[in-house]
Amino acid sequence: MSEPGNEIIIEFRQAGYRLPSGATLLRNISFAVGRGETLVLLGRSGAGKTTALKLINRLVEPSEGEVLVERRRTTDWDPIALRRHIGYVIQETGLFPHYTVERNVSLLPRLERWTDQQVHTRAQDLLRLVGLDPGIFLERYPHELSGGQRQRVGIARALAANPPILLMDEPFGSLDPLTRAEIRAEFQALQRQLGKAIVLVTHDTGEALLLGTRIALMEAGELKGLYSPVELAESQEPVAVAYRAQLRGLEQFLKGGPQ
């Protein structure tokens, strides 16, 4: 199904998820993500992308099949240990409104009992990493930040305890297009720098092509195919064609200029 060049970090084996009410949100999902890889889950709202992500950090547990993190079933992990092993970025950022940026990003290192000095240095490094000046931003509260700055802090917080795995649920979703392009470019640089296994959820084909080393097309709770960006760009399968159409519309508009 896939050919991860190196060590497999995350693996889905025929994983499915049903709500207690019986509705099936995911069925028969199999894929693997290696170190240094970015797998993009691409699909429309309700395709099950976020649920797939939550299976990895065990915010939900598979009702069928299994999900493995570092070759261990998520259900065999202590959920707290598993989640601290995984950075999690959500679209709304979920920053703690009563904490400064510094306390937000240093919460996990503190819980992991790093020394004050380590925590402080780490907070500064993290902000620089995501392109924010620590001198300006460490003491601010989330409500004093713009949407883009909040997203950056959210990413910094997820990276704080240096987890080998990063899950990102539409991390650039609520941004204006320019800020989005900027953060994406920085994210690409980060990706190369960090060498983590990353799973990123988006409904934006351009973003998927730009950031993914592989792209999983999802529809109605099923995996419709796994592609490299080049394969997705060339595939003749209807879903792939449909997603490309989203891009083509943009290109045509750009070529034709404003109407």
Partner 1 sequence: MNQFLAQHGNEILEATLEHVWLVGATMLLAMAMGVPLGIVVARKPWLSKPILGSANIAETIPSLALLGFLLPIPWLGDRADRLAITALVLYALLPIIRNTAAGITGVDPAVREAARGMGLTGRQILFRVELPLSVSTILAGIRVATVLTIGIATITAAVGAGGLGEFIFRGLAMVNDPLILAGAIPAALLALGADFLLGILERLLRPVR
Residues of this chain that interact with partner 1 (CB under 8 A) are 57, 59, 79-88, 90, 92-98, 107-108, 111, 141, 143, 154, 157-158, 167
Q: Minimum Å distance from CB 97 to partner 1?
A: 5
3-state helix, strand, coil in the chain (%, to 5): 45, 25, 30
Residues in a beta bridge with 167: 88, 199
The distance of closest approach from Cβ of residue 80 to partner 1 in the complex, given in angstroms and rounded to an integer, is 5
User: Shortest gap between Cβ of 17 and partner 1 (angstroms)?
Assistant: 16
Residue 130 corresponds to which amino acid?
V
**Nearest residue (CB) to partner 1, 161 versus 240:** 161
Cβ distance to partner 1 smaller for residue 49 or 224: 49
Least spacing, CB of residue 125 vs partner 1, in Å: 18
Nearer to partner 1, 111 or 242 (CB): 111
- Which residue type occupies 30? S
Q: What is the DSSP annotation of 36-105?
A: T-EEEEE--TTSSHHHHHHHHTTSS--SEEEEEETTEEGGGS-HHHHHHTEEEEETT----TTS-HHHHH
The span from the CA of 215 to the CA of 53, in Å, is 14
Rounded to a whole number of angstroms, the CA Rg of the chain reads 19
Nearer to partner 1, 112 or 251 (CB): 112
Strands 72-73 and 222-227: unpaired
Question: For residue 141, which amino acid is it?
Answer: Y
Whole-angstrom distance, CA of residue 10 vs CA of residue 34:
7
Q: How is residue 145 written in tokens? A: 């930040």
Tokens of 212: 């993914």
Give me the residues paired with residue 216 across strands: 41, 226
Tokens representing 75 are 């259900």
161: DSSP letter: T
Residue in the block written with tokens 């240094």? 36
Query: CB 83 → partner 1: shortest distance, Å?
Result: 3
CB of 106 to partner 1, least distance (A): 12
Beta carbon of residue 84, minimum distance to partner 1 (angstroms, whole number): 4
4 versus 154: smaller Cβ distance to partner 1: 154
Q: Which is nearer to partner 1, 59 or 226 (CB)?
A: 59
| Identity of the residue, 98 or 113, whose beta carbon is nearer to partner 1 in the bound complex | 98
